[in-house]
Chains A and B, each alone.
Chain A
Amino acid sequence: MSAPLFSLASEPLKPEDLIQAVGASICTAPLAIGAIASFLGLVRGENLGRRVIRLEYESYEPLAIKAFERIAMEAREHWPKSQLALHHRLGRLQVGEISVAIAVSSAHRAESFAVCRYAIERVKQIAPIWKHEFFEGGHVWIEGAIANPDDDVAREEAYRLACA
């Protein structure tokens, strides 16, 4: 069975699954694919001067999958022939593990790189996922953006970064 385009997983992420998913996508004729770009986000061992021991991710899963689908739809408005795959890890992660994996296929490399960047910026803005950081001496919920998919300023900022 082929890997899904969008998923939340408690098992380690496998980048090859995403590459296979975007390569085999029905949305992009395989013969039209000229590039696949990928992005992996890892758990870093240091954050804001703290020595990180592990992270615990949680999600509101049905809404997170819808947010991933929305990000793909938005990306296709800007880059019509791109296909996005996005997998996010949940649960307990050690330093060095992959927390998020993105792969994008397109006709030319520029679109694939741009959509990778757009997707990770939008994940940080609108995906209902939270990380609980456990560091030497304590733990803290990391709180970033107030999720609002209709915030056009945030969306434009993601687009600007994708095109930088």
Chain B
Amino acid sequence: MCVTVRLFARLRDITGASELMRELPEGSTARVLWDTLAREFAELDNYRDAVSTAVNAEYTKMSQVLAEGDEVAFLPPVSGGSTD
């Protein structure tokens, strides 16, 4: 199956892309997708325990099983608001 990956902020800088397409075995979880990317882009491993996951624009867990066409977003620690 094919999924779309969305990457933001520092994760986008590391991969050099805000959007990637990846082919995964049926039944793969978001964790499998993350591990696939982390093998490709070693620096991502620094975020292994600091990344949040969203599938189709809903927060979820790394254990979520993905489906064909899903949009999976990996989110580094957030920093909205002001600098107060």
Contacts and interface: CB of A to CB of B under 8 A. Distances in A.
A149 B78 CA distance: 12
B57 A142 contact: no
Given A141-B9, A147-B52, A149-B59, A129 B83 contact: no
Contact of A126 (B8, B9, B10, B78): B78
A123 B57 CA distance: 17
Contacts of A144: 77-79
Interface residues of B, number: 23
Given A41-B82, A41-B84, A141-B9, A128 B54 contact: yes
A43 B78 contact: no
B75 interface: yes
B73 interface: yes
A1 to B, nearest CB: 25
Interface of A: 41-44, 47, 52, 55, 57-60, 62-64, 66, 88, 99-100, 120, 123-132, 141-150
Interface of B: 6, 8-10, 13, 50-52, 54, 57-59, 73, 75-84
